[in-house]
Structure 1
Amino acid sequence: MVKRTAKRAPRRTDGLSREVIVQAAIDLLDEGGESALTLRALTLRLRTGYGAIYHHVTDKNDLLAAAADDVIARVLAGAVVAAGPREALRGVALGLFDAIDAHPWVGAELSRQPWRPALLDFYESVGRLLHALAVPERARFDAAGALVNYVLGVAAQNAARPGRGPKDTERSTGRGTDQGTGRADFLAGVAEQWSELDPGRYPFVHEAATRLREHDDRDQFLAGVDIFLAGIATLRRT
């Protein structure tokens, strides 16, 4: 009787770098969330051994942090340098919102490690742009904190919405076919509940039910950034 052995995938023959490992980790995280990122899954994805990976990263926590840094670094690298400070600020804020929408695990990682270099670079970028917008030094710290917290909070809430799983490819823009059924069904359910509320007690919420069903998450986020920009404009006159 001939004994059959399972065929193993051939080992990679090209060089393995930290950058290649981080990108593979990002792919695994996007496909299945944090639980999908294991060293075993990574060795299978990269067709290599544990030793080769440990040569470049310390452990899973190091890999998660590096992956988050990479995503945020791309946001800052993609910022339009030629834009004025107001448009640049809108751009970096929207860039981080989109990045967390595309990579929902990033928001949780940044909350756990707010001292990560990429987030500090984002904070520094916001501070420089506020300075360029002539926000007084005494108000700059609070203004920067308010905007960064707004961006991270709304982006994380959007990424964690019900019906959104790690493999969900829907976008939050709500435009045409990009609007996934998970988001649409969830909003429709909430809007239905709002519409049934007593308009005497909840006049605004009752009236907003229709807008909730049809609103665009991305546009609403930018509206919040514009409200922030209108607010800091008053600081220059005080």
Structure 2
Amino acid sequence: MRAGPAGHPGCGRPPTRPPRRWSRKYDVAVVRALPETDAGASARDAIHAVTLAVYEAIEKHPWVADQLTRPPWRSATLQILERLGRPVAALGIAAPAQFTAASALLLLHIVGAGRQEAINSHSPETHAGRQDNLDRVAAEWGQLDAAEYAFTRTMAAQLRDHDDRTEFLAGIDLILGGVEYLGHSTAGTTPQPRAGTRVQ
């Protein structure tokens, strides 16, 4: 998370624009950004690798986020969905919850976080340096009224020291953990740790 103006983590507008036409070459460029499939990787590691690659592609080219989620879904979107769906299934998530997991990862977290990071990284207010801006905003948060902003004040130090990609991947695991729990709860079973599950 890069800090934007007026003490807000996310402000500004990315300067890059999408090409006039989303042609096959852009599909190919996005797909090429995806990591090679690692047969020995755990399901969660595979999900982390794919989601981080898409996140970084959106950070570099903000227009990718809109193109990936705008109907009709393009080849790149379908390939990303497939690359996410297989390890989601390998985690043992119940079939009805697999759609929720894959769509939440792709449409909500990856695209949303990637777009926000792109906006922040291209904002004029952040050109002086990410850490300088985080230090400034953290200092402002630390001076907020203790009664009105009791929680926000406690986040100041974490805001200053956080790593964007670590927080992004933590969000991925939060989604997966919630969907796993929901799937098992619906099925009346008890979730078991499956961190080492391999992708088929």
TM-score (ref. length: structure 1): 0.61
CA distance in 2, matches of 1:106, 1:218: 18
CA distance 1:77–1:197, change in 2 (3 Å):
closer
CA distance in 1, matches of 2:142, 2:120: 21
Matched, 1:182 2:141: no
CA distance 1:184–1:112, change in 2 (3 Å):
farther
3-state SS of the aligned residue for 2:181? helix
Q: Of 68, 80, 93, which aligns to 2:38? A: 80
Give the count of matched residue pairs: 169
Structure 2 contact 96–183 (Cα < 8 Å) conserved:
no
Q: CA deviation at 1:150?
A: 0.7
CA distance in 2, matches of 1:223, 1:62: 32
Gaps in structure 2 of 5+ consecutive residues: 1-14, 186-200
Matched, 1:152 2:111: yes
Q: Of 16, 22, 46, which aligns to 1:33? A: 16
Structure 2 contact 68–76 (Cα < 8 Å) conserved:
no
Tell me which amino acid in the other structure corresponds to 1:155.
G
Tell me which amino acid in the other structure corresponds to 1:221.
F
Q: CA deviation at 1:124?
A: 2.0
Structure 1 contact 162–186 (Cα < 8 Å) conserved:
no
Structure 1 partner of 2:179? 232
Structure 2 contact 58–114 (Cα < 8 Å) conserved:
yes
Matched, 1:99 2:53: no
String of CA shifts for 1:41-70, please: whole Å, max 9, x gaps. xxxxxxxxxxxxxxxxxxx3144x632x22
Structure 2 partner of 1:195? 142
CA distance in 2, matches of 1:72, 1:82: 24
Q: CA deviation at 1:185?
A: 3.5
Q: CA deviation at 1:183?
A: 2.4
Q: CA deviation at 1:189?
A: 3.3
Gaps in structure 1 of 5+ consecutive residues: 1-31, 38-59, 171-179
Q: Of 28, 44, 66, which aligns to 2:25? A: 66
CA distance in 1, matches of 2:133, 2:167: 17
Q: CA deviation at 1:115?
A: 0.6
CA distance in 2, matches of 1:109, 1:66: 13
CA distance in 2, matches of 1:133, 1:94: 18
Tell me which amino acid in the other structure corresponds to 1:156.
R
User: Which of 211-220 and 103-112 deviates more?
Assistant: 103-112
Q: CA deviation at 1:219?
A: 0.8
Higher relative contact order (CA 8 A, sep 6+): 2
User: Which of 217-226 and 103-112 deviates more?
Assistant: 103-112
3-state SS of the aligned residue for 2:58? helix
Structure 1 contact 130–144 (Cα < 8 Å) conserved:
yes
CA distance 1:87–1:210, change in 2 (3 Å):
same
Tell me which amino acid in the other structure corresponds to 1:143.
A
Structure 2 contact 101–176 (Cα < 8 Å) conserved:
no
Structure 2 contact 38–46 (Cα < 8 Å) conserved:
yes
CA distance in 2, matches of 1:189, 1:158: 18
CA distance 1:111–1:204, change in 2 (3 Å):
same
3-state SS of the aligned residue for 2:110? helix
Structure 2 partner of 1:130? 88
CA distance in 1, matches of 2:48, 2:84: 10
Structure 2 contact 35–49 (Cα < 8 Å) conserved:
no
CA distance in 2, matches of 1:187, 1:114: 38
